[in-house]
Amino acid sequence: MTFSLSHTPVSPLGLSFLTLKYNRSYEYCFLLFIAARFGIISTGRYCQKCTLHKPPRAHHYCACNRCVLRMDHHCVWLNNCVGYANYKNFFIFVIYTIVSCIYSLVCQYISFSSVKDSYFSVLCSCFILFTYYLQVISGLLLVLLTLALTIFMFWHVYLILQNKTTIEYHEGVRAMWLAEKGGYLYSYPYDLGAYENMISVLGPNTFCWVCPSSEQIGYGLHFHAGVDKLAGISF
């Protein structure tokens, strides 16, 4: 395999990059994919719709008609994009909702037991019978909602521990496939370790991790990468 080297501008991470021009198309696509999507090198990412510079890890969403910093997904329930500015609050909201569902299930069980006893003592009461079946249905809905939200919460716990977004996870699957096809070992650039990843998302104060407060590190325009940690680079 033959390749040539050419220098590119200094990246936002303070590192220069050597562009490898391979004679095999998938290797070159893998290089462009990593450069453009993760923003590790200065590729001049530009949003044609916003007509503005697009920072690393930012994505444009048509429904919101703007570029969202560190975009994770668009939430139809919030009618807003979840990204750098509100991701922690969204995650905490999911946890609070699960706790509320569990609390409601406990209350439903206590109330269900009392209604059941009354049902057997007063069989002619239509109101008690209606309440009995209504609590059964609402209890089943609460169980399904709790299970769905718990799975959703653990999915985002995994993303936080990896310092990924939902979009970057799917992009990483593609990048890993291209890397394996080219005979390379893919490594996600923004993975700093589990604890550092949690700090970068939930904030430096561990006592405020479960509080709906905004304590993001930086402004969402630059992000630390694993190579920065090894080189001792800070910004």
Given the residues 75, 101, 124, 208, select the one marked as catalytic.
75
Helices (H), the chain: 25-38, 87-121, 126-162, 166-182, 194-202, 226-231
Give strand pairing partners of 221: none
> Which residue type is seen at 152?
F
How many CB atoms are closer than 10 A to CB 32? 13
User: DSSP letter string over 57-88?
Assistant: T-EEETTTTEEETT--EEETTTTEEESTTTHH
Q: Is 67 a catalytic residue?
A: no
Which pairs from 24-28 meet CB under 8 Å and 24+ separation? 24/182, 26/178, 26/181, 26/182, 27/182
> Which residue numbers are catalytic?
75
